[in-house]
Structure 1
Amino acid sequence: MTTPVPDDIDVVDWLNAALAPNESTQPADLASLDKQLAALTASLEVAVDEHSALLGRLIDDVSRSVPRLQYDLHFMREGSLSLQSTLAHITNTTSSNQPGGIGDVLEKLHALDTIKTNMTEARDVLREAESWSMLEPEVTSLLAESNYSKAAERLAEAAENLFVFQNTPEYESRRGVVVSLENQLEAGVSSALVAAINSRDTAACKGYYEIFERIGREAEFFNYYVGARAEPIFTAWRELPSPSPNSSSSTNSDLSPFISSISEFYSTLLTLLRSERTQVARIFPSPRHTLSQLLSSILSSLQPSFSQKVSELSNDLGPDAVIDLVKAFRATESFALDAHDILKILDAPPSDALQRRGSDKAHTRRHSRRVSISLSGRTESRSSLPGKGEPDEWDLALFEPFLDAQTSYPALENRYLSSRLPQLGTGDTARTLKEETDAVLVLADGALARCVAFTHGYALPGLLAVLDALISSFLASVSSSSFLASSSSHISFAGPGANVDLFDLDYAPADYARIQALLHLLDAVRSALDRLVGFEGRVRSTVSRALVENDITRSDAKIEGMTSGEQRILVESGMNSRELHDLLQSLSSQPQSGEQFGVVAHPEVFPGARKAIMGLAGTCQTSLQDVILSPLINRLKTYPTLSLWASTSASSTSSASSAQTDLKIPTFSLSPSETMQRVAEGLLNLPRLFEVYADDDVLAFSIETLPYAESELARLQAEDQPHSHSHSTPHTRSGSLSLRPAQKPTPLNPETILSLWLSSLGRSLLSHLLHDTLPRIARLSSAGAAQLASDLAYLENIVQALNVEEEELHRWRVCVEMRDEEGREACRDAEQRDGVLSHVARIRGWPAS
């Protein structure tokens, strides 16, 4: 029952109708009717209460408003009557006066005002004339009495009134008198001022500053103050030893005399700033700015200049110059931060009195003037305080001399690292490579730390290029044949040990030693890659830390450990280039997660070094293959000169048999030659050789650089593509595709790695046979061709067991099996004639056309 009761209906009738039972339904339950009646009763009571309260509020509002309304009407009536009376009076008064009378009154008032103004100006001129006539004798008398304060007040009044004579012939003479008297006042005060500064009489210095301030010569007062207080600093700077090639520090722990002395100089300067912090606050109205200008004046007055000293460090020293430069820069930076902390104490806002007393006046370091000055000249000698966030003058003066060295830092670092690059020894190859790689990366770590300390990362692009080139050159030197050739001379080999079945292989103990040495060297190359990857991680960490904690790419960011002047110089330098921003973005970007096995790929930091490691790994693998295949290749040396290639007996026998039976006997029915049998046996024995090194996972390292392994790896990756989301088994080994971090490494099991090595060895041997051995056969008879075809067919079956499919080998066999007529016809067909057929035609004596 939520329908509201209409206003035009009787409530009693509506209740009866609502409670009446529906005739179309069964009689209503009395309990249900009672509940409905109770609910309706409660709703009616609430409605009655609400309307009663609303009606009461309306009655109260009306009862309060009616008396007020009567008062308001009465007040409006009285105001209207008063306004009517006033308007009538004004109308009567205005109509009784003549229009010309008002104009006369106004003209008289204007004339009186003009007379008053002229008389006031005349009085001021007479007073000024009387004052200027007594100025010089009055000030001279005050100076004779040493009443400098009164004399300063008198001169300040005269300078303020000098504008009266502006654009008159007397102006220059009056101005000259003022300047001459100011010079006399300054000369009389100077000796007492210097004595007060030296005796640290703060009260006297404060009084003298007020005198200089009144005559507008605060800069001269500041010059006197600096000259007296900075003399010990100038003496310490002149005694500073000059940098020389012999004084350069050779280690990070040793300090050259110059670095030690400059640290002491900064300590002395900080002591002066700490002592002057309280003094200038009692004397000058702007202590923070005054102390900053004091430091700027000291730095600009050093002889020889600070920039000359820094230039000597960067230009006059040898390879170790960068070490002293970084130390000098760090000492300078530490001093600048300490100086900022001292000045920060004085950053409190000045009081109202100090603000009224020339808080906008600066003290510029210049010589005391003994020439005439003007008000405009005094205004020009003052400079406003640096804006908020603007670097101080001394801050810029400290770090600008280092900018050239910072810009050329990669070249300086390259010169130093090149002189420290370790030379390869003649000891154990693998151990030497590991030790020297560690030494090179230690040098690179030091260079990275110096780059961050000296340039705060702005020289990172150049430094990383230098480090990449140095590491690459070091690894390239390892790839030299003389270094690899000595790798087996320091490896002792006592034989195959428990694997006595290897004694039937065609390997000497020196061969086993050579194989072991090359495996150790390959392991050392893998270790070098791991160390390089670790160093790349430290580089990324350094860059990330610089971007997160110290955003060097933003000029408006406050960087911890840098002053505003240092940051501004670096931001506005040529080092803040697009190359730097791209490098920081690439190194600090989130790594890309590979789909397979959750592998994370980072961008390369040292692509040249990785390429050199790849080349070194490939060189080791090629050398290892040369040793493994050396017995087989040695047997193939005499293969082209075998006498059976020119034999004709087998050919006549074959011809007779063919004439009697009219059947062609295939060449593969012949037994392979002894040489080919031994070569084939050597290939079949290769798996036994690799069983010795089955537990050594170094064979899986850089598997993609293995000769002829690219096609097999591509096939394996294509086969694994449908299973890219499957998990690797615990026995899989990862082929070192990390050399190319953009690729997704495919984990390989030991069986696959062994298959890849055997396939690579088989292809390498076939390459030597097909391109170096077979072309050296001088002449091939029909019987020799049958024997060669049998050898090639036999070898083809053997290499197929090693998962090697070589089309060129099959082509050689097909061409060798051709009869003379078939071969000559093939030679005449341009589509069939290729390199293999040309070789076979030459040794078979088939005409070229």
Structure 2
Amino acid sequence: MTVLRNLISLPVARVHMISEADVASPLAGIPPSLPNLSSSSDLAASLDSYGEDIAGWINDLLDNQDLPKNADGTAVDLTALDKHVQLLATRLDVASQDTSSQLEQSIDDISRTIPRLTYDLQFMRESALSLQDALQNIEKSRLPPPDPPASQETDKMSTKQVLDRLHYLDTVKSSLEKTYSVLREAEAWSSLDSEITALLGSQSYAPAASRLSEAARSLALFSNTPEYETRRALMISLQNQLEAALSSALVAAINKRDVTACKGYHDIFTDIQREVEFRNYYFGTRRKGLVDLWSSAKIEDCEGEESGSAEETESSEKKQPFNALLKQFFTEFNTLLTEEQSYTVSIFPDPQQTLSAFVQSTVDALSPSFPQRLSSMAEHYSALALPHIIQAFKSTEEFAVSTSKILENAAYSARTATTTDDKSHAAGAKSLSRRASRRISLSRRLGPSRSGSISGPQGLGDPIGGSGAWEQALFEPFMDFQSEYGVLEKRLLDEGLKKITTGTPILADGAKVLRERSAAVFDMAEETLDRWRTPRKTGRDTRVNYYDAGAKEKDYELPKIVQSAREGWMEVAKALAIVCALLAGVEAQFVQILGNPPSSSPVSLSYRAVRALNYLSLLLNISAVVGTFFMLDILTELPFRVYKYGNNQEGERPTKQSISAMLLEFGADGRWTVAKGFTQACAILGMLTAVVQIIVWVWMNESREVSIVVTFVGMLGVFLAAYWFIASLGRSRRILNES
């Protein structure tokens, strides 16, 4: 049909009318040169022989050799050829229509026949089933009658006897195989000593380790036998000989950083169940430089390490403080761990656990130990030991943080190497499986999985310590000092106050000395707060870290506007404390100026008022200084109170508009209002009494004009201070009512 349609679609130059004779005889008019195309079947066969090459078929059909020629040998006119082509196309169209009608008739016949065919198949199936039943009945009728019950029981007994006999033979076979294995192992044990000695003599350490590994696995077969202890002692002796033969070569390979040799020795020690001893050799060799640095260092501030001999006195210039040694030691240790990170990944199957065990073993191998030197330093400095202990704690903490990062990198490198090995192993197994069998399972190609958890490899056991053992070895020496932090801080403050109070007496230059001592006291308080916050802060004073019983770190950060308000009030409290302390110093100096009243003449009322105002101002200013201490204490613990009691959530905007109310919303309580009001009242009243005292003193000793001017200026200041104080009291009362 496709060929006929392609012929119908050929372009025709002109359309001619077809006569009835042409339609009746579609092959009429074919040139006599093509006698083989005298029928429709011949035409179809000729067309099918060309396949899809329709143009070739037409060209062959219209070949010039087959066309009639003129008398002079020239070709006929093209007009006749065109008519001939049109005639052929028309007749082919008629032939295609005939073929299409015949094909449609065939399709209709098939459509009518298919349902009948289904019925015939069903009939044949039923007939076959009937024939099968008939054949089965005939077969049953010709079979002999069944055996009586007695013969069936006999057959069952004979079958059971056969099965029992087979089971007995299988048991005998298994016993013989086990006996053969035991005899072979016994024969192997008899020659084990000579074999291992010969292998050690030829320095074939790997075959010797493999032979000992096989013997160790077979040692369990001799349990509960008289030969067990003898062979066990022989096994241990041979393992010791192999370890002794390998020890010097192992140490040399570790010093040369020969990773391939170290990996081979590790496999040998693993085969003979001496992996712990291999780690001891490795750790001892690698930590030797650090241990020598620690042991040979001369410490100037550790009790028990100072000597009065002439030789050590001459070398006292080489001595250094303990914290300097500790910082140098941790720096070298960190460099060594960074170097060991790449080596342990190539040698050990568990680099993270290996490095943690290396840190712990190095700290435990120090002589004198880390706790001993830390305690000696504390005894050396006595009451002043706390800052040095905190400095040592900071150095240890920095080393612990860097070590944790190195361990994480080692675990990541181990996981990456494991993944790469798994991929290469899977690719190799896949290529081999294509040669053997393409139906092998994926699990067999990939082999056992070696996935590791994110926290690092597991299953190392107690001999090399847990993941947190190295941290315990580092920070355990500080636990006693942390539990006695309050006592150490009090001793340090007492020592500092003793140094401040000793020296020039206050009566020599009262105001200057009091100002200097007040500044020194505040500096000590600031240092105390800094020391208290140092182990807990994470970069900013307003961020507090809280460690609960599970040692899980939680933090809270105040909003920025609350931070600004808190810091502003802290600055105000510090400035107010300095001003009030200076005023108290001035009043103390004024007490000396007034002196004792003369006993000869009666004391005037003005003199008594001045002395009363003097003492009152002194007490009020001292009370204001004490109040600032309470304010600073409340503001310092503000972030912790917010975290503990959950007054607000991190990042929320405060809902109050005033500063004091905002502080109350974010952790402050009634103590803040009382402390602020008390401090403000004492400061204002102390200043007012000082001003009134000055005015009275001026009226007693100066002229009227000077007294009037001083009184006006003083009363103006008193009025402004009173207005500010009353406004502050009003705000505090409203805030207290709201809270």
Q: TM-score, length-normalised on structure 2?
A: 0.55
Q: Give the corresponding residue for 1:46.
A: none
2:735 matched to 1:695?
no
Note if contact 1:434-1:524 (Cα within 8 Å) is conserved in structure 2: no
Q: Aligned partners of 2:727, 2:674: CA distance in 1, in Å?
A: 26
Q: SS where residue 383 of structure 2 aligns?
A: coil
CA, structure 1 residues 392+78, in 2 after alignment: closer, same or farther (shift >3 Å)?
A: farther
CA, structure 1 residues 318+114, in 2 after alignment: closer, same or farther (shift >3 Å)?
A: closer
Alignment of 1:324-339 (within 5 A): 324-339=388-403
Once superposed, what is the RMSD of the aligned Cα atoms? 5.9
Note if contact 2:614-2:693 (Cα within 8 Å) is conserved in structure 1: no
Deviations 1:687-722 (A, max 9, x none): x9698424346854997xxxxxxxxxxxxxxxxxxx
Q: Give the corresponding residue for 1:313.
A: 377
Displacement after TM superposition at 1:343 (Å):
0.9
Q: Aligned partners of 1:315, 1:737: CA distance in 2, in Å?
A: 53
2:729 matched to 1:735?
yes
Q: Aligned partners of 1:324, 1:538: CA distance in 2, in Å?
A: 24
Which residue of 132, 138, 141 maps to 2:198? 141
Structure 2: which amino acid aligns with 1:735?
A: L
Q: SS where residue 462 of structure 2 aligns?
A: coil
Displacement after TM superposition at 1:522 (Å):
6.0
Q: Which piece of structure 1 moves more, 345-354 or 119-128?
A: 345-354
2:405 matched to 1:341?
yes
Instruction: Answer 1 or 2: higher relative contact order, Cα 8 Å, separation at least 6.
Output: 1
Q: Give the corresponding residue for 2:530.
A: 449
CA, structure 1 residues 273+698, in 2 after alignment: closer, same or farther (shift >3 Å)?
A: farther
Structure 1: which amino acid aligns with 2:462?
A: S
Structure 2: which amino acid aligns with 1:280?
A: T
Displacement after TM superposition at 1:401 (Å):
0.6
Note if contact 2:587-2:615 (Cα within 8 Å) is conserved in structure 1: no
Q: Aligned partners of 2:631, 2:461: CA distance in 1, in Å?
A: 58
Which residue of 130, 149, 171 maps to 1:114? 171
Q: Aligned partners of 2:185, 2:197: CA distance in 1, in Å?
A: 18
Displacement after TM superposition at 1:611 (Å):
11
2:462 matched to 1:383?
yes
Alignment of 1:646-661 (within 5 A): none
Q: Alignment identity in percent? A: 29
Which residue of 540, 544, 547 maps to 2:638? 540
Displacement after TM superposition at 1:406 (Å):
1.0
Displacement after TM superposition at 1:169 (Å):
0.6
Which residue of 473, 490, 495 maps to 1:414? 490
Note if contact 1:434-1:527 (Cα within 8 Å) is conserved in structure 2: no
Q: Aligned partners of 1:395, 1:206: CA distance in 2, in Å?
A: 28
Displacement after TM superposition at 1:337 (Å):
0.5
CA, structure 1 residues 447+594, in 2 after alignment: closer, same or farther (shift >3 Å)?
A: same
Q: Give the corresponding residue for 2:225.
A: 168
Displacement after TM superposition at 1:606 (Å):
8.8
Structure 2: which amino acid aligns with 1:351?
A: T
CA, structure 1 residues 191+599, in 2 after alignment: closer, same or farther (shift >3 Å)?
A: closer
Which residue of 473, 476, 494 maps to 1:400? 476
Q: Which piece of structure 1 moves more, 255-264 or 593-602?
A: 593-602
CA, structure 1 residues 183+526, in 2 after alignment: closer, same or farther (shift >3 Å)?
A: same
Alignment of 1:184-223 (within 5 A): 184-223=241-280
Which residue of 358, 361, 366 maps to 1:294? 358
Structure 2: which amino acid aligns with 1:178?
A: M
Which residue of 346, 351, 357 maps to 2:418? 351
Displacement after TM superposition at 1:225 (Å):
1.2
Structure 1: which amino acid aligns with 2:249?
A: A
CA, structure 1 residues 437+149, in 2 after alignment: closer, same or farther (shift >3 Å)?
A: same
Q: Give the corresponding residue for 2:346.
A: 282
Q: Give the corresponding residue for 2:31.
A: none
Deviations 1:516-547 (A, max 9, x none): 99879967976885686366434424776xx5
2:130 matched to 1:130?
no
Q: Give the corresponding residue for 1:366.
A: none
Displacement after TM superposition at 1:203 (Å):
1.2
CA, structure 1 residues 237+587, in 2 after alignment: closer, same or farther (shift >3 Å)?
A: farther
Structure 2: stretches of 5+ with no match in the other structure: 1-114, 306-318, 423-446, 453-458, 538-543, 549-573, 595-603, 701-706
Q: Aligned partners of 1:303, 1:599: CA distance in 2, in Å?
A: 56
2:521 matched to 1:440?
yes
Displacement after TM superposition at 1:441 (Å):
3.7
Note if contact 1:292-1:343 (Cα within 8 Å) is conserved in structure 2: yes
Q: Give the corresponding residue for 1:559.
A: none
CA, structure 1 residues 480+442, in 2 after alignment: closer, same or farther (shift >3 Å)?
A: closer
Q: Aligned partners of 2:692, 2:248: CA distance in 1, in Å?
A: 93
Note if contact 1:197-1:205 (Cα within 8 Å) is conserved in structure 2: yes
Q: Give the corresponding residue for 1:10.
A: none
Q: SS where residue 351 of structure 1 aligns?
A: helix
Q: Aligned partners of 2:487, 2:649: CA distance in 1, in Å?
A: 22
Q: TM-score, length-normalised on structure 1?
A: 0.49
Structure 1: which amino acid aligns with 2:269?
A: F
Alignment of 1:541-560 (within 5 A): 541=639
Q: Aligned partners of 2:243, 2:714: CA distance in 1, in Å?
A: 99
Which residue of 563, 569, 589 maps to 1:486? 589
Q: Which piece of structure 1 moves more, 150-159 or 101-110?
A: 101-110
CA, structure 1 residues 745+696, in 2 after alignment: closer, same or farther (shift >3 Å)?
A: farther
2:660 matched to 1:603?
no
CA, structure 1 residues 336+487, in 2 after alignment: closer, same or farther (shift >3 Å)?
A: farther
Note if contact 1:478-1:484 (Cα within 8 Å) is conserved in structure 2: no
Note if contact 2:355-2:407 (Cα within 8 Å) is conserved in structure 1: yes
CA, structure 1 residues 276+239, in 2 after alignment: closer, same or farther (shift >3 Å)?
A: same
2:291 matched to 1:234?
yes
Note if contact 1:593-1:599 (Cα within 8 Å) is conserved in structure 2: yes
Note if contact 1:286-1:359 (Cα within 8 Å) is conserved in structure 2: no
Deviations 1:333-353 (A, max 9, x none): 001101111111111337388
Q: Give the corresponding residue for 2:335.
A: 271
Q: Aligned partners of 2:325, 2:674: CA distance in 1, in Å?
A: 42
Note if contact 2:357-2:470 (Cα within 8 Å) is conserved in structure 1: yes
Displacement after TM superposition at 1:408 (Å):
1.1
Q: Aligned partners of 1:450, 1:94: CA distance in 2, in Å?
A: 105
Structure 2: which amino acid aligns with 1:338?
A: S
Deviations 1:456-489 (A, max 9, x none): 679999xxxxxxxxx9xx99x9799998442477
Structure 2: which amino acid aligns with 1:413?
A: E
Q: Aligned partners of 1:698, 1:320: CA distance in 2, in Å?
A: 47
Q: Aligned partners of 1:204, 1:622: CA distance in 2, in Å?
A: 88
Q: Aligned partners of 2:655, 2:486: CA distance in 1, in Å?
A: 30
Note if contact 2:695-2:711 (Cα within 8 Å) is conserved in structure 1: no
Q: Aligned partners of 2:270, 2:448: CA distance in 1, in Å?
A: 13
Q: Give the corresponding residue for 1:667.
A: none
Note if contact 2:670-2:736 (Cα within 8 Å) is conserved in structure 1: no
Q: Aligned partners of 1:333, 1:274: CA distance in 2, in Å?
A: 17
Displacement after TM superposition at 1:152 (Å):
0.6
Note if contact 1:243-1:258 (Cα within 8 Å) is conserved in structure 2: yes
Displacement after TM superposition at 1:142 (Å):
0.5
CA, structure 1 residues 382+481, in 2 after alignment: closer, same or farther (shift >3 Å)?
A: closer
Q: Aligned partners of 2:341, 2:659: CA distance in 1, in Å?
A: 65
Structure 2: which amino acid aligns with 1:274?
A: T
Displacement after TM superposition at 1:303 (Å):
0.8
Q: SS where residue 128 of structure 1 aligns?
A: helix
